[in-house]
Structure formats: C-alpha cells, structure tokens
C-alpha cells in the first residue's frame, strides 16, 4: 500500500493501528507553545494532550536556579486541567519551583525506532507534551490527599484504597506543586520512514521497530506476609 504522505504527517493513521489522531484545527494557546519545527506534527487539543499525559509515568521538569538550568525527572499525575508533582519538602526542585520561577514540564512516550534507507532520514515515533508556566504549592491538606491518591492510583489502579494512607506528619513532609495546562502542546510522529525517492532502491531493511513499556512478572518483597497475592494486571494497566 502506498501511503499518503499528508496522512502520515498529520498522524491520521487510524487504519494503520494508530491509537488516536490529534484533533486537527485546535490552535496553540500561546505563541510560545506553537510547534514551529515540523508544525504538522503539533497538536493542541486537550484530548490528545491528556491521553499522552495519562499514559506516561514520568515527566521532566525544567527550571533555572542561579542561572543554572536543571531538567529533573519525576513522577507526576494529571487531575483535570492541572498536572501535579510531589516530593520531599526539602527537595531543591520543589522549593525552587514554589518560588515562582518559570518552568517547563515535558512528557515523552517512545513508540518505535524508524529505520530509513538513508542515515539522514532515521527517526523515532513518539508522542510528547510540553507544558509551560509556573508551579504553585498545594497547601490544603484535602487537596494534597487528593493529589497523592492520584499519584498512587497511577502506579497501580486502586492502590490508594489498598495501602496505608499518609499520616498528618507524612503529609506535612510532602510538598505538592501544581501547574495548569493553560499553555500546553503535543507533538507526534507516527508511521513509516520517509526516504528520499532516489533511496527507495537502496538494499537495506527499512521500517519501524515498535517499542513499548511492558509490565513484567511481579517480584514479591522478601517480607511479604504469607498469603498476600500480587496485583492482577489487566491490559489497561499495561502502560502500552
Ligand atoms: C523521543 C523524541 C526524540 C526526538 N529526537 C529529535 C532529534 O533527534 N532531533 C531533533 O531535532 N528533534 C527531535 N525531536 C523533536 C524535538 O522534541 C523538537 O520538537 C525539535 O527538535 C524542534 O525543537 P525546537 O525547539 O526547534 O521546536 P519549536 O518548534 O521551535 O518549538 C516551539 C514550541 O513548540 C512546542 N514543542 C516543541 N517540540 C515539542 C515536542 N517534542 N513536544 C511537544 N511540544 C513541543 C513547545 O511549546 C515549544 O516551545 C524528538 C522528540 C522526541 C519526543
């Protein structure tokens, strides 16, 4: 089958098994979130952005402290129109961000290695989100609990109800910051390699090698109480 390049470019690959397609027509919420490089891969609709955020476990938070940029990997959770990060109240990252500095939160899902006929056209299939803005601390204990519930249920659905919940002291030792999704963009590359016409005769394998994050067999803790069974992972718990 000969692929229509325009369909590949905009990610409209439903018939090729793509999970979802960006909703075309949504506009960037600000000029600085507009994808300029390969703009046809940009998406700004919340459905696309939320789906990427909700599939990823880890984000990278970028900020500058004393003129030194840091990009720190950390867990996160989305609740509605906001993303939350958490950590020790002593965390440099959380204390700096709570000081009202500009921040950039990035999430990346890697879907495949794209092997082209030419080195130049090698690529990667991905879905990513960039959120720009400032973080603010969550002070209300009920809101903190709610964010922690979202964190634990992301690691394993239902975990909040099963595990011991935080004490007031533990809650106090935990900082939680929120960032709104007011300025967010997604970028997606899907589909096969795009070689130069002259290279299609080059005798090397070309195509996509899919990559995904798989759930392995649970490894019980050595102090696990007798008779406690491991969680059952359903396909929806497998993060792709
Ligand atoms: C796994 C992975 C591997 C990549 N590998 C490469 C590579 O090897 N070389 C390369 O040049 N690029 C690569 N990219 C694309 C890269 O993320 C940038 O989009 C690209 O380099 C253009 O950067 P720029 O600053 O010129 O973007 P611009 O288009 O100028 O960025 C303008 C705005 O668009 C938004 N934006 C830009 N990139 C993204 C993104 N990825 N996701 C969501 N929003 C975005 C941001 O809001 C940004 O402020 C890769 C992306 C991913 C996810």
- Read off the CATH number of the domain in which 84 is found: 2.30.110.10
Structural domain count, the chain: 1
Q: Reduced to 3 states, what is the DSSP secondary structure of residue 88? A: strand
Residue 90 Cα to ligand 1 midpoint, Å, equals: 32
pLDDT tens by residue, the chain, 240 residues: 233 333 333 333 333 334 456 666 689 999 999 999 999 999 999 999 999 999 999 999 999 999 999 999 999 999 999 999 999 888 888 889 888 899 999 999 999 999 999 999 999 999 999 999 999 999 999 999 999 999 999 999 999 999 999 999 999 999 999 999 999 999 999 999 999 999 999 999 999 999 999 888 899 999 999 999 988 766 554 444
Domain that holds residue 224: 5-237
Ligand 1 atom having least distance to the Cα of 33: 47
Which residue among 28, 107, 128 has the greatest number of ligand 1 atoms within 8 angstroms of its CB, and so is best to mutate? Answer: 128
Q: What per-residue confidence (pLDDT) applies to 15?
A: 32
Which residue among 11, 27, 31, 35 has the greatest number of ligand 1 atoms within 8 angstroms of its CB, and so is best to mutate? Answer: 35
> CB of 106 closer than 6 A to ligand 1?
no
Instruction: Please state, in angstroms and rounded to a whole number, the distance separating the CA atoms of residues 83 and 183.
Output: 12
Q: Reduced to 3 states, what is the DSSP secondary structure of residue 180? A: strand
- Of the CA atoms within 13 Å of residue 193, those in its CB half-sphere come to 22
Burial of 188 (0-12, 13-18, 19+ CB in 10 A): buried
Q: What per-residue confidence (pLDDT) applies to 5?
A: 33
Q: What per-residue confidence (pLDDT) applies to 23?
A: 63
Q: What per-residue confidence (pLDDT) applies to 99?
A: 85
Instruction: Please state, in angstroms and rounded to a whole number, the distance separating the CA atoms of residues 107 and 83.
Output: 11
CB 86 within 8 A of CB 75: yes
């Amino acid at each position: 089958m000969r692929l229509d390049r325009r369909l590949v470019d905009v990610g409209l690959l439903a018939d090729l098994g793509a999970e979802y397609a960006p909703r075309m027509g949504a506009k960037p919420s600000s000029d600085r979130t507009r994808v300029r490089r390969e703009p046809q891969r940009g998406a700004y609709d919340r459905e696309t952005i939320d789906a990427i955020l909700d599939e990823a476990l880890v984000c990278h938070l970028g900020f500058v402290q004393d003129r030194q940029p840091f990009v720190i990997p950390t867990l996160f959770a989305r609740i509605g129109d906001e993303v939350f990060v958490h950590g020790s109240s002593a965390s440099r990252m959380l204390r700096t961000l709570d000081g009202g500095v500009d921040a950039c939160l990035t999430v990346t899902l890697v879907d495949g290695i794209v092997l082209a006929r030419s080195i130049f056209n090698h690529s990667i299939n991905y879905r990513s989100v960039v959120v720009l803005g400032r973080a603010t601390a969550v002070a209300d204990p009920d809101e903190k609990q709610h964010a922690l519930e979202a964190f634990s249920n992301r690691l394993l659905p239902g975990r909040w109800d099963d595990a011991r919940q935080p004490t007031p002291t533990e809650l106090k030792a935990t900082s939680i910051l929120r960032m709104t999704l007011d300025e967010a963009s997604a970028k997606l590359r899907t589909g096969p390699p795009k070689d130069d016409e002259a290279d299609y005769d080059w005798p090397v394998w070309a195509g996509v090698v899919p990559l995904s994050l798989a759930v392995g067999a649970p490894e019980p803790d050595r102090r696990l109480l007798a008779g406690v069974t491991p969680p059952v992972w359903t396909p929806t718990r497998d993060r792709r």
